[in-house]
A and B are shown apart, each in its own frame.
Chain A
Amino acid sequence: MPERLLKPFQPQPWRDRRIEIILGNLLRTGVLLSAAVVLCGACIYLSCHAHEPTDYRVFRGEPSDYRTIPGVIQSVRNGRGRGLIQLGLLLLIATPIARVVFSIVGFAIERDRMYVAFTLIVLAVLLYSLLGSGVGL
């Protein structure tokens, strides 16, 4: 084992910290934005359907309007509250993905190729889940 590898690694604490703080604020902004969109959707949904009965006993699965990105956008265009709620939830799911994208930039600035590669793997899994599983269709 070369001695170089046994020396404790010291990431530049100042740069790391700054990137982390930017990422933390990005996450909070994303969450608050998505919560605001969900809340708007909730107001429309409740004003239209407040007195209808609920039934979640039997699993039916959501209609495609609430399962895919184009379906959600279409139902938002039609002014549907539930479509707006789903849009807010999509923004929420996108928030950690944005964090991963920004981390790639951060590691690239530090010229840490290994971690750029690790982060790209994580991003690929996230995009596969969101787009490969049929949400994008």
Chain B
Amino acid sequence: MTFTVLEFTVMVASVSFVAGLLGSLTGLGGGVVLVPLLTTFFHVDIRYAIGASLVSVIATSSGAAASYVKEGFSNIRIGMFLEIATTFGALLGAFLATRMPTNALAIIFGAVLLYSAFLSRKPRPQAQRNLPPDPLATRLRLNGSFPDEDGQRFYNVQRVPAGFSLMFGAGALSGLLGIGSGAVKVLAMDQAMQIPFKVSTTTSNFMIGVTAAASAGIYLSRGYVDPGLAMPVMLGVLGGSLLGSRILVKAETQSLRLVFATVILVLGLQMLYKGIWGNI
């Protein structure tokens, strides 16, 4: 069945609004569910879906940056240094995306969705880290501090090469699939580099926009960004995520995360199925 332009715009904008709202409330990001929803329910070619999703990722990351910055957790030196890795990765990812068969894209997408769902259920250890300074991190001036209940807390960044390599991978995934790949970015900073979780998530958000901009130019010039599709996706996701950052539903976040993680899991399985049985 086909929709008229008006029907299509209203429906895609509504779905994108809900995705942006849930992504913002749960901290899992809205971009990751958009591509499977667009391909499954609206029968959009995965390349158009990826182009529209990438554009919306820039909007949410940049729109949220102002409020994150005020909290004083993000570290612009860590962000800028790691953006070298993510932007080169994003170029590679966008380059691969234009050459890869759509089935392979769907399979990788499915795997990333399953990983995101798994990660969101894993309990996060709240370790009090008190690590010695790492010479390379010190030379790169990555160590920093953030406000805590009892004044400023200082932290020392560890394992810079491992984090930098993971960030290259995060950038490549972002360029390949049109997602923010915040989950991999946080993994690189929080797990590999031992950066405090709050600093990792806010710095990651700050980096997502620049990373996505690095592949957006390539997507645009290859004709992946369709105005009729990108318009409702971008406006919907941006509206949803701005609303999500304003309302506080602390009590229900846990169950909301569970619901959203289940949605991600189902969509991931579906993408894998479609990728393997050539139905995309």
Which A residues lie at the B interface, using CB under 8 A? 1, 5-9, 11, 13, 16-17, 19-21, 23-25, 27-28, 30-32, 34-35, 38-39, 41-42, 45-46, 49-63, 66-68, 81-83, 85-86, 89-90, 92-93, 95-97, 99-100, 103, 106, 112, 114-115, 118-119, 121-122, 125-126, 128-131, 133-135
Judge whether B2 and A45 touch: CB under 8 Å.
no
Judge whether B144 and A11 touch: CB under 8 Å.
yes
- Chain A residue numbers with a CB within 8 Å of B223 are 60-63, 66-67
Please name 19 further chain A to chain B contacts, defined as beta carbons within 8 Å, in addition to the given A61-B223, A103-B80, A129-B217, sorted by A numbering: A23-B69, A28-B62, A28-B65, A31-B238, A35-B238, A53-B4, A53-B5, A56-B226, A82-B228, A85-B227, A89-B225, A93-B220, A95-B209, A106-B76, A118-B84, A122-B87, A125-B91, A126-B213, A131-B217
Judge whether A133 and B227 touch: CB under 8 Å.
no
Give the Cβ gap from B156 to chain A, nearest Cβ, in Å.
7
Inter-chain CA distance A110–B101, complex, in Å, is 47
Instruction: Name which residue of chain B comes closest to A127, CB basis.
Output: B217
Judge whether B231 and A41 touch: CB under 8 Å.
yes
Residue B262 CB within 8 A of the other chain: no
Judge whether A52 and B138 touch: CB under 8 Å.
no
Residue B174 CB within 8 A of the other chain: no
Inter-chain CA distance A50–B139, complex, in Å, is 58
Judge whether A133 and B230 touch: CB under 8 Å.
no
Residue B9 CB within 8 A of the other chain: yes
Choose one: A28, A114, A129; the contact of B66 (CB below 8 Å): A28
Q: Which 6 A-B pairs have the closest CB atoms?
A: A61-B223, A24-B69, A129-B217, A130-B217, A62-B223, A24-B66
Residue B15 CB within 8 A of the other chain: no
Residue B176 CB within 8 A of the other chain: no
Inter-chain CA distance A23–B81, complex, in Å, is 17
Using known A-B contacts A28-B63, A53-B4, A93-B217, determine if residue A38 contacts B231 with beta carbons closer than 8 Å: yes
Give the Cβ gap from B125 to chain A, nearest Cβ, in Å.
24
Judge whether A129 and B218 touch: CB under 8 Å.
yes
Inter-chain CA distance A69–B138, complex, in Å, is 42
Q: Give the A-B pair count, Cβ closer than 8 A.
A: 227
Choose one: B88, B154, B156; the contact of A125 (CB below 8 Å): B88
- Chain A residue numbers with a CB within 8 Å of B229 are 56
Which B residues lie at the A interface, using CB under 8 A? 2-6, 8-9, 42-45, 47-48, 55, 58-59, 61-63, 65-70, 72, 74, 76-77, 80-81, 83-84, 87-88, 90-91, 94, 133, 135, 138-141, 143-145, 152, 154, 156, 209-210, 212-218, 220-232, 234-235, 238
Inter-chain CA distance A23–B229, complex, in Å, is 29
Interface of B is mostly: helix
- Chain B residue numbers with a CB within 8 Å of A68 are 221
- Chain A residue numbers with a CB within 8 Å of B58 are 92-93, 95-96
Judge whether B76 and A20 touch: CB under 8 Å.
yes
Inter-chain CA distance A103–B225, complex, in Å, is 28
Judge whether B4 and A54 touch: CB under 8 Å.
yes
Instruction: Name which residue of chain B comes closest to A42, CB basis.
Output: B231
- Chain B residue numbers with a CB within 8 Å of A95 are 58, 62, 209, 213
Inter-chain CA distance A66–B226, complex, in Å, is 8
Inter-chain CA distance A57–B9, complex, in Å, is 15
Inter-chain CA distance A79–B214, complex, in Å, is 29
Inter-chain CA distance A12–B90, complex, in Å, is 32
